Amino acid sequence: MKQLWGSRFSKGLDKMTNDFNSSLSFDQRLYKYDIQGSAAHAQMLGAQGILTQDECNKIVNALNEILHKIESGQVEFDYELEDIHTQVEKLLINKIGETGKKVHTARSRNDQVALDIRMFLKDEEHEVQKLLIKVINVLLQLSKKHLNTIMSGYTHLQRAQAITFAHHLGAYVEMFKRDHERLEDAYKRINISPLGAGALAGTPHNIDRNKTAELLGFDGIALNSLDAVSDRDFAVEFISSMSIIMMHLSRFCEEIILWASSEFKFIELDDAFATGSSLMPQKKNPDIAELIRGKTGRVYGDLMAILTVMKSLPLAYNKDMQEDKECLFDALDTVKMCLAILPEMLATIKVNKENMLKSVKDGFLNATDAADYLVKKGVPFRDAHEIAGKLVSKAIEKKTSLDELELTDYKAENKLFENDIYDAIAAENTVKARTVIGAPSPEAVSKVIAINEEWIKKHD
């Protein structure tokens, strides 16, 4: 098989070398962008008089026909070829002959592959953002249903203070919003055209780089040809963003796994999103949540892989950079798969409100509210904190709760306690009292939901 670069060599590649060197098995998914980039490049060459208008039209029309045939399944790729660029060029030459060989004028595969990946990521970032919006929407709808569903909030995985399920879900809304905005910001660094950088030193032909950038929807052009072909920061940043999304998904799934356990019984997963045991008939396993949690490590691995590939590469292009695609594609595909299934699972969960409320009443979660009761009566918080701690110790000693502790026990610690302490530390009231924006009261959470619904309107 003659290579595009084979004229300097006296014999062809060993088959094992060719197979090892080839990237077509995975970079074939860039075919659409390779064809679109080639068409724009040809149009620019025609406008600059480097190609005749007839040659330009012939190339562009043939490329569009090739694209249609690939998308309709009429083309079989030749896996003995080196990459998708070679495959497209071969299809073009087979179709229109000698004119097809002119498409590579003033271009290298180095700037070509950088262009293809950037175009690919421009589309895929938007797809990930759409999936994030779907997750956020489901979380907001669940939140609306559970504004008054009281549950324990935790620190150190120990019961801490009473919140609502809506408030807890809202924390993940904020995480996924940041993920969306992070991609939006990264898009600016992706949307720069490297085409025209050549192999590393540009071209002597009178090309118009801004023209191709405009035709392909880029905001601007790379200003240094060395950097244009050797930069993969945008890919590293994209996989980093995918890793952070997976971190958020994993944290959420860890809580779903805990909540679905017999020890918590806060939620029950729908049968359609759980599995059983081949040995133990009673089991209902949260495998989907566990798999998302597990796949997080895989995406982290993709990030470490690309960072390691790039860490010591001299300028400009090196063949090591072919390794960027598999980890990039894997991270993207994994995140999209996880983001697609999560909202379906969440929309079908059954929330056990009684167990959530019971967790609040069993764990002295209102101790801080007992301290705040005294603060409102002028007691310094540090003293009030100490008093509340003694009340907890007394309740533990008597095997009761703060709600059921006698008023005499309260007064023994501080005379300012009155009968209204029981209203102040009732779970429902402790939540309702926290009305500051960002807090768990139904009033505060409703305001945040409204803010986030407006955010969705701007970003959907």
**In 260-323, which residue ranges form alpha helices assigned H by DSSP?**
287-310
Q: How far is CA 196 from the centre of its chain?
A: 32
d(C-alpha 58, C-alpha 400), whole Å: 86
d(C-alpha 372, C-alpha 17), whole Å: 73
Whether 129 contacts 338, CB under 8 Å = no
Active site residue 278: no
Six token digits for residue 48: 């600059």
| Token pair 């356990």: residue | 261
Element (H, E) at 425: none
Query: 205: Cβ–Cβ under 8 A, 6 or more apart, which residues?
Result: 48, 50, 105, 106
Q: E strands, 184-280, where?
A: 192-193, 220-221, 267-268
Q: E strands, 214-318, where?
A: 220-221, 267-268
Distances (CA, A) of 286 to 74, 259, 283, 402: 42, 10, 10, 35
Which residue among the candidates 7, 10, 72, 156 is catalytic per the annotation?
156
Bridge partners of 161? 153
Which residue among the candidates 25, 68, 261, 277 is catalytic per the annotation?
277
Query: 334: Cβ–Cβ under 8 A, 6 or more apart, which residues?
Result: 242, 246, 295, 298, 299, 302
Residue closest to 347 by CA, chosen among 291, 267, 453, 452: 267
Active site residue 38: no
| Token pair 């597990």: residue | 294
Residue closest to 113 by CA, chosen among 324, 292, 266: 324
d(C-alpha 133, C-alpha 281), whole Å: 38
Six token digits for residue 137: 């929407």
d(C-alpha 366, C-alpha 436), whole Å: 18
d(C-alpha 386, C-alpha 364), whole Å: 15
Which residues carry out catalysis? 156, 277
